[in-house]
Amino acid sequence: MKTEVLQINSPTECAAALARAAAVLKKGGLVVFPTETVYGIGGIATSAEAAHAIYEAKGRPSDNPLIVHIANPREAEQYAVTNDTYYRLAAQFMPGPLTIILPKRNTVPDAVTGGLPTVALRVPAHPVAAALIRAVGEGIAAPSANLSGRPSPTTAAHVIGDLSGRVDMIIDGGECEVGLESTIISLDGDVATLLRPGAITADALACVCAEVKIASAVTELPGENERPLSPGMKYRHYAPRAALTLLNGAETEVTTYLKSLVGNKAVGILCYDEEIPLLQGAATLFPIGSRTDLETQAKRLFSLLREADNHPDCTMLFAHLPPREGLGLALYNRLIRAAAHTIQNV
Ligand code: AMP
Ligand code: MG
């Protein structure tokens, strides 16, 4: 299949290109589009065939369900059974990087939800994503636009590397603002369970929900026979080629430990910007942002994991263990999974 790459930065200036992308989707084709979190690989949400095509293009197990992207919170009525808490959360956080799991309606094929009786819904804030959904006139089912097991793509170049020849169209809308996938929650009345941490933090959700529980798989390795609340939790995601170790300890101790590694050219370090002058040597540095700037760290993480994968010498990777508060919890969750829970205390 030949993949067409379209540049769309402003939906108003590129209405004709968007109409073409919408036509591809309506015919059952696959279009990759930018969102504020990461790039998504989209197909029509009501089509089982499109869902199968997405799983095939990604090489994704078909029991790992897709998120349905809608243009405004009310459109959830077409696909799910909503409730008051959903609308209170929507008023606060939609459009934005929040995905809510609700009981599904029959309009959503089982292929989209991996056979689950629930559906994941999100209203993306990215103007190109929003305009594409409006142009199609119905929901778009879209997981992250990476090959299964690779880090989620935050630029069109990442997508082209993974999916060129496997999808009909890729819309290049520049770099994604957030860089980590959406926060996912399920609801039981007005109690939320955080299934995947993202830019909408547990503290922010607690301002609307009576309680926010954090699923154990967010921070812990799931037990051998445990059935995770979100199927995606059981897969080893975001795995770099190099063995990744997360370093836990006082900042000065961790920096001292990192200094001891810099003579080795097989070592790569996801270091803080402040550490760059301290860590000059044979090791390869992948600066992730300032120590306290979690937004920049989130934005750069997946891109750096891909850079490390492309680096010929780098077979051992080290990174700081992020704090578990705020946006740090999302970084923690992605990094412990990339590291297969390898944490070293220093
Ligand atoms: P991705 O967009 O690639 O991050 O994948 C979507 C994520 O949403 C996966 O981790 C899924 O497991 C999760 N997900 C989608 N639908 C549901 C659902 N109905 N219940 C729980 N998790 C879901
Ligand atoms: Mg994904």
The burial class, CB within 10 Å (0-12 / 13-18 / 19+), for 26 is middle
Region 37-61 average pLDDT: 96
The owner of tokens 């010929």 is 312
The burial class, CB within 10 Å (0-12 / 13-18 / 19+), for 92 is middle
Question: Would you state the pLDDT for residue 241?
Answer: 86
* Calpha distance 28→57 (Å, rounded): 13
> For residue 53, what are its two tokens?
């095509």
Question: Would you state the pLDDT for residue 64?
Answer: 87
Reported residue count of the chain is 346
Measuring from each residue's beta carbon to the nearest atom of ligand 1, which residues come in under 6 Å? 64-65, 67, 101, 113, 116, 118-120, 143-144, 181, 184, 195, 230-232
Q: Which atom of ligand 1 is nearest to the CA of 104?
A: 19
* Calpha distance 135→298 (Å, rounded): 30
* Calpha distance 190→226 (Å, rounded): 25
> Domain 4-218 classified CATH 3.20.20.70?
no
All residues at 6 or more sequence positions from 92 whose CB lies less than 8 Å from its CB, including other chains: 204, 207, 208
Residue among 327, 338, 296 nearest 197 (CA)? 327
Q: Whose CA is nearest to atom 20 of ligand 1?
A: 230
* Residue range 163-218, pLDDT digits in tens: 999 999 999 999 999 999 999 999 999 999 999 999 999 999 999 999 999 999 99
Question: Would you state the pLDDT for residue 236?
Answer: 56
All residues at 6 or more sequence positions from 157 whose CB lies less than 8 Å from its CB, including other chains: none
- Give how far Cα 332 sits from Cα of 64, 91, 95, 202, 303, Å: 22, 28, 25, 14, 16
- Grade residue 239 by pLDDT with cuts at 50, 70 and 90: confident
Cβ < 5 A residues, ion ligand 2: 144
* Calpha distance 285→268 (Å, rounded): 6
Cα angle 329, 244, 278 (rounded to 5 degrees) comes to 85
Q: What is the pTM of this model?
A: 0.96
Three-class SS of residue 32?
strand
Q: How far is the CA of 130 from the centre of ligand 2 (A)?
A: 20
* Calpha distance 143→193 (Å, rounded): 20
* Residue range 273-331, pLDDT digits in tens: 999 999 999 899 999 999 999 999 999 999 999 999 999 999 999 999 999 999 999 99
Q: How far is the CA of 64 from the centre of ligand 1 (A)?
A: 6
Region 64-79 average pLDDT: 97
* Calpha distance 101→251 (Å, rounded): 38
Ranges assigned E (strand) in the chain: 4-7, 31-33, 40-44, 67-69, 98-103, 118-122, 140-141, 169-172, 183-188, 191-196, 211-214, 243-248, 267-270, 284-285, 316-320, 343-345
Pairing of strands 243-248, 343-345: parallel
Q: Which of 37, 54, 63, 66 to mutate to test the pocket of ligand 1 (most atoms within 8 A of CB)?
A: 66
Same fold? 4-218, 243-345:
no
Q: How many C-beta neighbours within 10 Å does residue 41 have? A: 29
Question: Would you state the pLDDT for residue 259?
Answer: 96
Topology (CATH level 3) of domain 243-345: Rossmann fold (3.40.50)
Q: What is the dihedral of CA 174, 175, 178, 182, to 10 degrees?
A: 70
Query: Can you give the residue ranges of every domain in the chain?
Result: 4-218, 243-345
